[in-house]
Amino acid sequence: MNLLEVRSLNLWYGETQALKDVSFSLGRGEILCIVGESGSGKSSILYSIIGLLPEGARVEGEVVFEGRDLLKLDEGEMKNIRGKDITMIFQEPSAYLDPLFTVGVQIGETYLAHIGGPRDLVGDKVIESMRRAGIPKPQEKVNMYPHQLSGGLKQRVCIASSIICDPKLILADEPTTALDVSIQKRILHLFMRIKEEGRSVILVTHDFGVVAEVGDRVIVLKDGKVIEEGNVEEIFDAPKEEYTRMLLEAI
Ligand SMILES: Nc1ncnc2c1ncn2[C@@H]1O[C@H](COP(=O)(O)OP(=O)(O)OP(=O)(O)O)[C@@H](O)[C@H]1O
Ligand SMILES: [Mg+2]
């Protein structure tokens, strides 16, 4: 059984239809990349999966995760899954950090909420996930507040909280865009290890270099529709759609 099956997903923000009959599946230990120009609906797919759509959004279709349709779950059931089995690295991570708490507290909070355990053990987990997320000298940063950290470090704090519970699925929305090349490599390496553990990632990116490096399969979105889907090699060697060729040429 696939980890995730998205079937005929349609999404409206008020009158505007942002996703049109989107279907795809994701296996365990697979990295699926979503590419497409700005406004094509990439983030909307991730928000639909994790159940964080804004007020006034209407969604239809199925998002079957481990055999259960997430669109049919109530908020309480979704809260048990979100942060633990499915996590998200947001496009604008700073907006999701609370200025009033240290980053260590914020990273540990998810772990305490879902798994729990003695405080020093949670502290060890926090440091370990900060290190895995490529944060140098985590012991020095763990007691800092978000405003004391650079944008790139804040991004890695969000990555650390997204991996601390060893989720089955990570939704990553342009996770490396704000990072310099060496850190970007490190994060991509982290995704490869996550994949080797049999976990899965959906990676939204503008960067076909990133797709080539870590992607197994790709879906190409245009105006809310999947216009092309295939293995990374197929898409690179023989893109079927003119639009995909154009995106490839843009790099
Ligand atoms: N909260 C919202 N309310 C109304 N319309 C929205 C909302 N969020 C997104 N949209 C619209 O839905 C469409 C898809 O947006 P989405 O953010 O999913 O695109 P995207 O591919 O992630 O773009 P980008 O590459 O710029 O992040 C766009 O037309 C956008 O304007
Ligand atoms: Mg987006």
Q: Please tell me the residue having the least CA distance from ligand 1 atom 26.
A: 38
Q: Are 192 and 8 in contact, with CB atoms under 8 Å apart?
A: no
Give 34 Cα–ligand 2 centroid separation in angstroms: 10
Give 41 Cα–ligand 1 centroid separation in angstroms: 6
Task: List the Cα angle 178/180/181 in 5-degree steps.
Answer: 125
**Structure tokens belonging to residue 163:** 């991996």
Euclidean distance between CA atoms 229 and 239, whole angstroms: 9
| H helix or E strand, kind and range, residue 225 | strand 225-231
Q: Are 153 and 141 in contact, with CB atoms under 8 Å apart?
A: yes
- Number of structural domains the chain divides into: 1
| Among the listed residues 21, 66, 29, the one whose alpha carbon sits nearest the alpha carbon of residue 48 | 21
Mutate to test the pocket of ligand 1, among 43, 92, 207, 227 (most ligand atoms within 8 A of CB): 43
Residue 81: predicted pLDDT: 96
Contacts of 243 (CB under 8 A, 6+ apart): 220, 222, 227, 228
Beta bridge partners of 4: 26, 65
Residues of the chain with pLDDT under 70: 251
Give 137 Cα–ligand 2 centroid separation in angstroms: 31
Q: Please tell me the residue having the least CA distance from ligand 1 atom 18.
A: 41
Residue 5: predicted pLDDT: 98
Q: Please tell me the residue having the least CA distance from ligand 1 atom 25.
A: 38
**Structure tokens belonging to residue 234:** 């197929």
Residue 149: predicted pLDDT: 94
Q: Please tell me the residue having the least CA distance from ligand 1 atom 14.
A: 41
Ligand 1 contacts (CB < 6 A) are 13, 16, 18, 36, 38-44, 54, 91
| H helix or E strand, kind and range, residue 231 | strand 225-231
| Among the listed residues 46, 38, 22, the one whose alpha carbon sits nearest the alpha carbon of residue 224 | 22
Residue 171: predicted pLDDT: 98
**Structure tokens belonging to residue 27:** 């296996």
Backbone angles phi, psi at 249, to 5 degrees: -70, -25
Residue 137: predicted pLDDT: 97
Residue 207: predicted pLDDT: 87
Beta bridge partners of 24: 6
Question: 171 in a domain, yes or no?
Answer: no
Question: 147 in a domain, yes or no?
Answer: no
Structural domain of residue 245, as residue ranges? 1-85+216-251
Q: Which residue type sits at 101?
A: F
Residue written as token pair 């942002």: 18
The CATH number of residue 76's host domain is 3.40.50.300
Euclidean distance between CA atoms 7 and 1, whole angstroms: 15
Question: 240 in a domain, yes or no?
Answer: yes
Question: 109 in a domain, yes or no?
Answer: no
| Among the listed residues 124, 132, 128, the one whose alpha carbon sits nearest the alpha carbon of residue 187 | 132
Q: Please tell me the residue having the least CA distance from ligand 1 atom 1.
A: 54
Question: 40 in a domain, yes or no?
Answer: yes
Question: 246 in a domain, yes or no?
Answer: yes
Give 249 Cα–ligand 1 centroid separation in angstroms: 24
**Which ligand 1 atom is nearest residue 16's CA?**
5
Euclidean distance between CA atoms 174 and 6, whole angstroms: 21
Burial of 189-198, coded b for 16+ CB within 10 Å and e otherwise, reads ebbeebbeee
- Give the number of whichever ligand sits closest to the CA of residue 224: 1
